[in-house]
Amino acid sequence: MSASTPPTEPHGELVIRTIAMPADTNPSGDIFGGWLMSQMDLGAAIYARNLSRSRVTTVAVDGMAFLNPVSVGDIVNCHASLLKVGHTSMKITVEAWVQRGTDGKMLRVTKGVFTYVAIDQAGRPHPVHRG
Ligand SMILES: CC(C)(COP(=O)(O)OP(=O)(O)OC[C@H]1O[C@@H](n2cnc3c(N)ncnc32)[C@H](O)[C@@H]1OP(=O)(O)O)[C@@H](O)C(=O)NCCC(=O)NCCS
Write the pLDDT tens digit of every residue in 49-62: 999 999 999 999 99
Ligand 1: centre distance to CA 120 (Å): 13
Residues 24-36: tens digit of each pLDDT: 999 888 899 999 9
Check pocket membership of 58 for ligand 1, CB cut-off 6 A. Answer: yes
> In the chain, what are the domain boundaries?
13-119
Q: Is the pLDDT of residue 2 over 80?
A: no
Q: Mean pLDDT in the chain? A: 94
pLDDT at 24: 96
Q: Is the pLDDT of residue 106 over 90?
A: yes
Check pocket membership of 125 for ligand 1, CB cut-off 6 A. Answer: yes
Ligand 1: centre distance to CA 59 (Å): 5
pLDDT band at 18 (very low <50, low <70, confident <90, very high): very high
Transcribe 14-74 into DSSP letters: EEEEEE--GGGB-TTSSBPHHHHHHHHHHHHHHHHHHHHTSEEEEEEEEEEEE-S---TT-
Residue 29 CB-density burial (10 A; 0-12 exposed, 13-18 middle, 19+ buried): exposed
pLDDT at 3: 60
CATH number of 13-119: 3.10.129.10
pTM, two decimal places: 0.94
**What's the rounded Cα separation, in Å, for the pair 86 and 107?**
32
